[in-house]
Each structure stands twice: as C-alpha cells, then as structure tokens.
Amino acid sequence: MSEEFKIDIVNPEKYFLTKDDVIEVIVPAFEGEMGILKDHISIISFLKPGVITVRTKSNDEKFYVEDGIVEFKNNNLSVLTSNIINIKDLEKSKVQDLIKIAEAEANKSGMNDQVKFLADQKIDTLRSIN
C-alpha cells in the first residue's frame, strides 16, 4: 500500500505548493513540532514561526513560515499561511533583515506572554536557518 498523501500549501494570493506524493510532513504546531504521516486522525491546529519540512521519496523541501493553520482530513493536508518562504530562496541578507525585524518586535514593551513567545520563537528559527 502506498504511504503517500496530498498536501496543499495556500497563501492568500495563490496556491503556494501542491503535491500528492508526500510521505511525511513536519509542521511547527503551536504546542510543539508535529509529524504527519498518512492516515493521521483529522486534526486542526495552528502554527508558530518555524520550519515546515515536506518529505517525498526523492527529496526534502523546507519552508520557513511565520504563522498559519493546518488542517488534515481524509489524507489531505491543507496549510493556510500568509507568510511562507522556501528556504532555498531565502538569502542570508534577507534572513538578517528578518531577524532584525523580529528582534525589534520582541523588544517592544507591553505585550502579553503569547506574543513574546511567538517573537522569540521567530528569532530562534531564523538564527537556526542562518
């Protein structure tokens, strides 16, 4: 039996990525990284800043996301996100810029714990990519 399922990554402007031969997807869900294989139970969760790994037989692709929602149902994985970049296309200088923005965000005063957590998470992820 095949172990493959379908993934759609959608951003507001277009279909970002569609694949139907995915073996495993690792998403940075809000409460920790989550690996999704075929026949996973239906689930809805949202993302924190991190890296999505899409694994097919032939290769792995990695994407940097800042936020989003995942829905898995009937072996269809939908990822809705407004900010997504393929790490291959992400240049070092761009990462530096993003880190700067994130740091400015994290240092703002008067925010609640959740926002702070997300900002810190963003910085960690970006540093690890860099």
Contacting residues toward another protein, per CB under 8 A: 8, 10-15, 29-31, 34, 41-46, 67, 69, 71, 73, 78, 80, 82
**Shortest distance, CB of residue 115 to another protein, whole angstroms?**
12
Of the candidates 61, 63, 49, which has an alpha carbon nearest to the alpha carbon of residue 99? 49
Of the candidates 43, 25, 41, which has an alpha carbon nearest to the alpha carbon of residue 33? 25
**Shortest distance, CB of residue 61 to another protein, whole angstroms?**
20
Q: In angstroms, rounded to a whole number, what is the distance separating the alpha carbons of residues 24 and 129?
A: 21
Q: Which is nearer to another protein, 43 or 104 (CB)?
A: 43
| 19 contacts 54 by C-beta, under 8 angstroms | yes
**Shortest distance, CB of residue 69 to another protein, whole angstroms?**
6
